[in-house]
A and B are shown apart, each in its own frame.
Chain A
Amino acid sequence: MNKQEKEIDLIIIGAGPAGLTAGIYASRANLETLILENDIIGGQVRSSYTIENYPGFAKITGVELAEKMEAQATGEGAVIDEFDFIEKVTLTDDEKIIETGDFIYKPRAVIIATGAKPRSLPIPNERAYLGKGIHYCAVCDGSSYEGEVIGVVGGGSAALEEAMYLARVAKKVIIIRRYDTFHAEAKTLKEVEAVPNIEILYDHDLIDVVGDNFVEKALVKHTKTDEVIEIPLKAIFGYIGTEPKTDLFKPFIQVGEDGYIKSDESMQTNVKGVYVAGDVRQKEFRQIATAVADGTIAALKAEKYITENKENAK
């Protein structure tokens, strides 16, 4: 079957906060805008239990914020396709082709906002116990462990927020932290410390899990004394950071040593007319607010690029 070719102003790859914001701005600028999302609309926000640091919402669930952003983007005219997956891309100064399962798109500009995915726990039995006690989505799988002891690994806001969610269903939550501090917000740490059934195990590193087909124990090592202890528990939820989703673009788009896409302050990548926004971009802080800022800039720059190209072509 020959795929239909479609010319379009702008394709945004990724429908997290960066991509949806870019979609809002681009649509309001009358650009014909398609947002492609292989994974979940709303991105990592969609899987977060609550958000307390996005201005305008003192406290909002991740689902609600994601749905509001999605509704705003589609309300402005952006089209989101979450079922037609990208198969390959060509991104050069002169030619931009996004081939999906159904179409060959020829966009005038592209914004890469694929975001990042949770980093897998670096333990030998990770794959063997995936879904059998090793998990990465508390709101999805937490309820399977009602009344049980659950471990959470990580040191950022995500680890602490999700630990608080899990503490509502679990008998006890043990946060396993390699260092003696967290890099989460101080306010969130205080909230965690006030939850009676959360215990924080500082200076301990998860080294593996064991059990008969399902996780029954975590093996953790004291990072200063090297002493290994066994903790009986039924699940470990991993929040040890993220890794960028860049595999599709690497032949064309420059990434840094850390794997994130390089850009200048105007979100421009090494390819003209290709912009990057959100967590997939090389930068210091990855927050919803910074993703939204990136998406705004990328869309405004894309609009300028498209308009200039159209005028030059006249």
Chain B
Amino acid sequence: MIKVYSVEWCGPCQKVKKYLDTKGVAYEVVTVADAQADREIVLEVSGQRTVPVTTIGESVIIGFDKQQIDEALKSL
């Protein structure tokens, strides 16, 4: 299960989603600007408040990090 916690206007968030699209993997987008509860989940899963946060299996990736995303996808 892949989740991308993001906000609509953020460049790195768009880049994560576009990259996952090029990899042909399905993911769920959680738009965290919409609800306090979702923002608290960002904090809970990543220990910080910057988006995007991408969860791929057990991996938690902060920001756009191609290498980390590739490695996490391999482990699925």
Contact = CB atoms under 8 A, between A and B. Distances in A.
Contacts of A63: 9
Interface residues of B, number: 24
Interface range for A: 20 to 34
Contacts of B57: none
Interface string A45-85: 01100000000000001010000000000000000001101
Interface of B is mostly: helix
A237 to B, nearest CB: 12
Interface string B24-44: 000000001100100100100
Contact of A140 (B10, B46, B66): B10
Nearest to B23: A83
A16 to B, nearest CB: 11
Contacts of A131: 46, 48-50, 62
Given A83-B66, A143-B32, A146-B36, A132 B48 contact: yes
Interface of A: 40-42, 46-47, 61, 63, 82-83, 85, 130-133, 135, 137, 139-141, 143-146, 214, 235
Contacts, number: 61
B11 A47 contact: yes
A141 B33 contact: no
Contacts of B15: 40, 82
13 contacts: A40-B15, A42-B11, A82-B18, A131-B46, A137-B50, A140-B7, A140-B9, A140-B10, A140-B12, A140-B50, A143-B39, A144-B42, A235-B49
Give the 9 A-B residue pairs with the shortest CB-CB distance, closest first: A131-B48, A40-B11, A140-B10, A131-B50, A143-B33, A144-B49, A46-B11, A139-B9, A132-B48
Given A83-B66, A141-B50, A143-B39, 15 more contacts: A40-B11, A47-B10, A47-B11, A83-B22, A131-B49, A137-B11, A137-B12, A137-B50, A139-B10, A140-B7, A140-B13, A140-B50, A140-B51, A143-B33, A144-B51
A234 to B, nearest CB: 9
Contact of B50 (A40, A61, A135, A214): A135
